Homo-oligomer: A and B are copies of this chain.
Amino acid sequence: MPSRHDRTQTIAEGLLTVRIPNMKKEDGKETDVPKGYRFSVAAAGIKYEDRPDMALIYSEREAAAAGVFTTNRVKAAPVVLDMKRIRSSTARAVVINSGNANACTGPRGMEDAEAVCRHAAERLSVPVEHVLTASTGVIGTPLPMERVRRGIEELTGGARAGVEDVARAIMTTDRFPKVASKRVKAGGTEAVLTGVAKGAGMISPNMATMLCFLMTDLAVERKALDRALKETVEGTFNLITVDGDMSTNDTVLIMANGLAGNAPLTEGSPGYESFRDALFELADELSRMIARDGEGATRLIVVRVRGASDHADAKRAAFSVARSPLVKTAVYGRDANWGRIMAALGYSGASVSEERTDISVNGIKLVGNGLATGRDAEAAESMKSGAEVVIDIDLNLGPGTERVYTCDLTEEYVRINAAYRT
């Protein structure tokens, strides 16, 4: 493994030499990385110029692996391939590219995705069945395989990068790289969980693709890993919405290589809950980053619903508010427009009793028992500063609670997504 203080390196792509600066997280902190993972990036020129657009995550040892994928019926080739490969619950490497989604590319798209994995497997001397792949970018255009092949050669050429470089290489319209890590003590063993993600930032003609790659040096039994990942995604990445569009390419993968030295965790292990909680916190942090970085967004919006008849109703209500373009534009306008929140609750499909509903924004109560409290101006003022707007809704009907992250809707969102293809 390279020193985490020495990530500056030179990548040669044809005649182009790109200097990649040391990419720490935005807050300047170093990211903890679990043992036994190596990273590299390459500037293959798939679509973007002068920046890395391919990344490799490589585990020195066979890792238990699990994945969660888009439920869109139109799935990109790498998603279809990974869904098949992940059945073995084992992985050694993930090859990722930005700039081209390899979606809606027919049989050729599948051949290309397979060729990506095969080429990487040969270069890494690992079984092709243990190489996963993910793509994000232009839809309907075949991968430029010559460039991709050169990129893979570079990825596997020995030069190493940091995990933040991976986060940066997979960005499309993301405004900042998304990387987080958690230290965990699971059943007496100190270990690390680290994740990189790219957001539902869409650049014309890209899709809203969410990619996330999670790794740990814990040993986790395959079934327990799968279960923990699915539960985590349900409570984190599946509770964010930027614009309601769902990608053909969404992928969340986790690898657990066991280099921390613990006995493999099962659902009954004493350390399992610590692992699961750390995984949840990690994914929660990454999912907040994705929502905050929604295209054109100026505020993260946290919609919290309680008092719903049941959990399903709480989720319906929270998503209805979080998806409402009227609520999202009101937040952008710093307008504590509770009428739009009330209307979104009303059409959510959840049981709602207007005269029982309470609504607060940033802790300022705007509606009590369905009626205005007259504090709108105060709440509007509170929205003018800070990175987040918290909307609390109490339906006062039952025990259901849920929380959804979203962002405001701005002219910039429209500009980004209305841009001509280049």
Mark A residues whose CB is within 8 Å of B: 71-75, 101, 103-106, 138-141, 202, 204-205, 207-208, 243-248, 323-326, 329-330, 332-335, 337-340, 342-347, 351-352, 354-355, 367, 370-372, 376, 380, 409-411, 413-415, 417-421
CA distance in complex: A414, B407 (Å): 14
Knowing A74-B345, A338-B140, A343-B74 are in contact, say whether A202-B420 is a contact too (CB < 8 A).
no
CA distance in complex: A352, B244 (Å): 19
CA distance in complex: A352, B419 (Å): 28
> Assuming A139-B339, A140-B342, A376-B421, what are 18 further A-B pairs, CB within 8 angstroms?
A71-B347, A73-B345, A101-B339, A104-B354, A104-B371, A140-B338, A207-B339, A207-B340, A207-B343, A243-B325, A244-B323, A245-B326, A329-B417, A330-B418, A335-B418, A409-B414, A409-B418, A410-B414
Which B residues are CB-close (under 8 A) to A202? 326
Q: Is the CB of A337 within 8 A of B421?
A: yes
Which B residues are CB-close (under 8 A) to A418? 329-330, 332-333, 335, 409-410
Knowing A72-B347, A140-B339, A325-B243 are in contact, say whether A330-B409 is a contact too (CB < 8 A).
no
CA distance in complex: A332, B418 (Å): 6
CA distance in complex: A390, B71 (Å): 28
Q: Is the CB of A204 within 8 A of B335?
A: yes
Knowing A243-B325, A340-B245 are in contact, say whether A104-B347 is a contact too (CB < 8 A).
no
Q: Is the CB of A372 within 8 A of B420?
A: no
Which B residues are CB-close (under 8 A) to A421? 335, 337, 376
CA distance in complex: A338, B202 (Å): 15
Give the residue of B73, B74, B105, B244 whose beta carbon is less than 8 angstroms from that of A325. B244
CA distance in complex: A141, B246 (Å): 37
CA distance in complex: A140, B420 (Å): 41
CA distance in complex: A258, B326 (Å): 42
Which B residues are CB-close (under 8 A) to A330? 204-205, 417-418
CA distance in complex: A9, B186 (Å): 82
Looking across the interface, which residue of chain B has its beta carbon closest to that of A72?
A: B346
Question: Could you give 17 example pairs across A and B, Cβ below 8 Å?
Answer: A71-B347, A104-B339, A139-B340, A140-B342, A141-B372, A202-B326, A204-B333, A205-B340, A246-B343, A247-B343, A248-B342, A325-B325, A329-B413, A329-B414, A335-B421, A337-B421, A414-B414
Separation in Å of the A305 CB from the closest CB of chain B?
A: 15
Separation in Å of the A192 CB from the closest CB of chain B?
A: 35
CA distance in complex: A346, B246 (Å): 9
Interface pairs A-B: 10 shortest CB-CB:
A74-B346, A139-B339, A333-B418, A329-B417, A411-B411, A72-B346, A246-B347, A243-B325, A329-B418, A332-B418
Which B residues are CB-close (under 8 A) to A245? 324-326, 340, 343-344, 347
Separation in Å of the A246 CB from the closest CB of chain B?
A: 4
Separation in Å of the A51 CB from the closest CB of chain B?
A: 23
Which B residues are CB-close (under 8 A) to A204? 329-330, 333, 335, 337
Looking across the interface, which residue of chain B has its beta carbon closest to that of A416?
A: B329
CA distance in complex: A73, B309 (Å): 15
Separation in Å of the A380 CB from the closest CB of chain B?
A: 8
Q: Is the CB of A73 within 8 A of B352?
A: yes
Looking across the interface, which residue of chain B has its beta carbon closest to that of A409?
A: B414
Which B residues are CB-close (under 8 A) to A343? 72, 74, 103, 139, 207, 245-248
CA distance in complex: A248, B287 (Å): 32
Q: Is the CB of A371 within 8 A of B106?
A: yes
Looking across the interface, which residue of chain B has its beta carbon closest to that of A369?
A: B106
Looking across the interface, which residue of chain B has its beta carbon closest to that of A247?
A: B343
Separation in Å of the A52 CB from the closest CB of chain B?
A: 24
Give the residue of B205, B323, B332, B334 whose beta carbon is less than 8 angstroms from that of A414. B332
Which B residues are CB-close (under 8 A) to A104? 339, 342, 354, 367, 370-372
Q: Is the CB of B420 within 8 A of A333?
A: yes
Which B residues are CB-close (under 8 A) to A370? 104, 106
Separation in Å of the A129 CB from the closest CB of chain B?
A: 25
